[in-house]
Amino acid sequence: MDQNVKEFLQSNNNFLPMRYSYSNIKKITRGLKEKLGEEGYGSMFKGRRRSGHKVTIKILKKGKANGQYFISEVAIIGRIHYGNVVGLIGFCFEGSKQALAYDFMHNGSLDKHIFSR
Protein backbone atom coordinates (compact mmCIF):
# COMPACT_ATOMS: atom_id res chain seq x y z
CA MET A 1 0.00 0.00 0.00
CA ASP A 2 2.89 2.38 0.74
CA GLN A 3 4.06 1.98 -2.86
CA ASN A 4 0.65 3.12 -4.14
CA VAL A 5 0.86 6.22 -1.96
CA LYS A 6 4.42 6.96 -3.10
CA GLU A 7 3.40 6.63 -6.77
CA PHE A 8 0.38 8.88 -6.20
CA LEU A 9 2.51 11.55 -4.51
CA GLN A 10 5.12 11.47 -7.28
CA SER A 11 2.64 11.62 -10.14
CA ASN A 12 0.56 14.43 -8.60
CA ASN A 13 3.35 16.48 -7.05
CA ASN A 14 2.34 19.74 -8.77
CA PHE A 15 -1.27 19.57 -7.58
CA LEU A 16 -0.84 18.60 -3.94
CA PRO A 17 -1.25 20.66 -0.79
CA MET A 18 1.86 21.44 1.28
CA ARG A 19 3.97 18.50 2.39
CA TYR A 20 5.21 18.55 5.98
CA SER A 21 7.87 16.45 7.65
CA TYR A 22 6.81 14.59 10.77
CA SER A 23 9.11 16.80 12.84
CA ASN A 24 7.22 19.84 11.48
CA ILE A 25 3.91 18.21 12.44
CA LYS A 26 5.25 17.75 15.98
CA LYS A 27 6.33 21.42 16.10
CA ILE A 28 2.99 22.66 14.78
CA THR A 29 1.14 20.69 17.47
CA ARG A 30 3.71 21.43 20.21
CA GLY A 31 4.44 17.74 20.55
CA LEU A 32 0.84 16.56 20.05
CA LYS A 33 -0.06 18.43 23.23
CA GLU A 34 -3.70 19.47 22.72
CA LYS A 35 -5.87 16.54 21.62
CA LEU A 36 -9.19 17.60 20.11
CA GLY A 37 -10.72 14.18 19.62
CA GLU A 38 -10.55 10.84 17.91
CA GLU A 39 -12.32 9.15 15.06
CA GLY A 40 -11.99 5.92 13.12
CA TYR A 41 -8.86 6.80 11.18
CA GLY A 42 -6.93 8.73 13.80
CA SER A 43 -6.59 11.35 16.50
CA MET A 44 -6.95 15.10 15.96
CA PHE A 45 -4.70 17.69 17.57
CA LYS A 46 -4.81 21.46 17.62
CA GLY A 47 -1.86 23.22 16.08
CA ARG A 48 -0.59 26.55 14.88
CA ARG A 49 1.57 27.25 11.84
CA ARG A 50 4.39 29.80 11.98
CA SER A 51 2.06 32.30 10.32
CA GLY A 52 -0.28 32.01 13.32
CA HIS A 53 -2.92 30.16 11.27
CA LYS A 54 -4.65 27.56 13.49
CA VAL A 55 -4.88 24.04 12.10
CA THR A 56 -6.18 20.62 13.04
CA ILE A 57 -3.72 17.79 12.53
CA LYS A 58 -5.07 14.26 12.14
CA ILE A 59 -2.45 11.65 13.03
CA LEU A 60 -3.51 8.49 11.22
CA LYS A 61 -3.58 5.28 13.23
CA LYS A 62 -0.93 2.82 12.13
CA GLY A 63 -3.40 0.02 11.46
CA LYS A 64 -5.84 2.43 9.82
CA ALA A 65 -3.26 4.42 7.88
CA ASN A 66 -4.36 2.66 4.79
CA GLY A 67 -3.09 4.03 1.52
CA GLN A 68 -6.46 4.37 -0.16
CA TYR A 69 -7.87 6.58 2.61
CA PHE A 70 -4.75 8.75 2.55
CA ILE A 71 -4.85 9.10 -1.25
CA SER A 72 -8.58 9.93 -1.20
CA GLU A 73 -8.18 12.64 1.43
CA VAL A 74 -5.21 14.26 -0.32
CA ALA A 75 -6.61 13.93 -3.85
CA ILE A 76 -10.20 14.98 -3.17
CA ILE A 77 -10.27 17.16 -0.06
CA GLY A 78 -6.94 18.73 -1.01
CA ARG A 79 -8.51 20.18 -4.17
CA ILE A 80 -11.72 21.51 -2.64
CA HIS A 81 -11.66 25.19 -1.79
CA TYR A 82 -15.16 26.15 -0.73
CA GLY A 83 -16.21 28.35 2.16
CA ASN A 84 -18.36 25.75 3.93
CA VAL A 85 -16.00 22.79 3.56
CA VAL A 86 -12.97 22.35 5.78
CA GLY A 87 -9.85 22.50 3.65
CA LEU A 88 -6.91 20.14 3.62
CA ILE A 89 -3.86 22.39 3.73
CA GLY A 90 -1.13 19.79 3.98
CA PHE A 91 -0.03 16.26 4.72
CA CYS A 92 2.83 14.19 6.07
CA PHE A 93 3.86 10.84 4.66
CA GLU A 94 6.97 9.32 6.19
CA GLY A 95 6.42 5.58 6.06
CA SER A 96 4.20 4.60 8.99
CA LYS A 97 3.99 8.23 10.17
CA GLN A 98 1.10 9.76 8.27
CA ALA A 99 -0.80 12.92 9.07
CA LEU A 100 -3.29 15.29 7.46
CA ALA A 101 -3.42 19.03 8.20
CA TYR A 102 -6.80 20.77 7.94
CA ASP A 103 -8.03 24.29 8.53
CA PHE A 104 -9.08 24.62 12.17
CA MET A 105 -12.84 24.75 12.76
CA HIS A 106 -13.40 27.22 15.61
CA ASN A 107 -16.89 25.91 16.42
CA GLY A 108 -15.95 22.24 16.36
CA SER A 109 -17.01 19.53 13.97
CA LEU A 110 -20.43 19.24 12.39
CA ASP A 111 -21.08 15.81 13.93
CA LYS A 112 -20.43 17.30 17.37
CA HIS A 113 -23.32 19.70 16.83
CA ILE A 114 -25.62 17.14 15.21
CA PHE A 115 -25.14 14.25 17.63
CA SER A 116 -24.78 16.15 20.91
CA ARG A 117 -28.50 16.98 21.03
Q: Give this prediction's pTM.
A: 0.75
Interatomic CA distance for residues 14 and 111, integer angstroms:
33
CATH code at 110?
A: 3.30.200.20
Number of separate domains in the chain: 1
Spell out the per-residue pLDDT of the chain, length 117, in tens: 566 666 655 665 555 678 899 999 999 999 999 999 998 889 999 999 999 999 999 999 876 556 777 777 777 666 666 666 677 888 898 888 999 999 888 766 555 544 555
Q: Which domain holds residue 47?
A: 3-115
